């Protein structure tokens, strides 16, 4: 399976999973969102599997909404 990207978005209190090639994935850090580094608005994390991403969500971000991108149709 291809890499899974998780958008950990602090302003919306949500974690959204994307396929690695989804057009909504940001591959470079911005002023307010980091790549593997938390900034003011959150961060993007990369996982090798959906199970790994789900585990990260349940242990590190259990109070955040967990959703799948409706654009790239990532599925569990």
> Residue 20 sits in which domain range?
4-72
pTM: 0.90
Using left for φ > 0, alpha for ψ between -120 and 50, and beta otherwise, residue 50 falls in alpha
**pLDDT bucket at 1, cuts 50 / 70 / 90:** low
pLDDT of residue 26: 94
The Cα–Cα gap between 30 and 43 comes to 9
% of the chain at pLDDT higher than 70? 96
pLDDT of residue 75: 67
* Average pLDDT of the residues in 13-31: 96
Tens of pLDDT, residue by residue over 26-61, are: 999 999 999 999 999 999 999 999 999 999 999 999
The Cα–Cα gap between 56 and 49 comes to 11
Give, in order, the Cα–Cα distances in Å from 56 to each of 2, 30, 48. Answer: 17, 23, 12
Number of domains in the chain: 1
């Amino acid at each position: 399976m291809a890499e899974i990207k998780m958008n950990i978005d602090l302003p919306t209190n949500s974690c959204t999973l994307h396929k690695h090639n989804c057009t909504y994935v940001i591959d470079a850090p911005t002023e307010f969102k980091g790549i593997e580094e938390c900034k003011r608005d959150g961060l993007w994390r990369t996982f090798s599997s959906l199970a790994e991403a789900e585990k990260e969500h349940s242990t590190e971000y259990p109070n955040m909404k967990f959703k799948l991108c409706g654009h790239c149709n990532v599925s569990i």
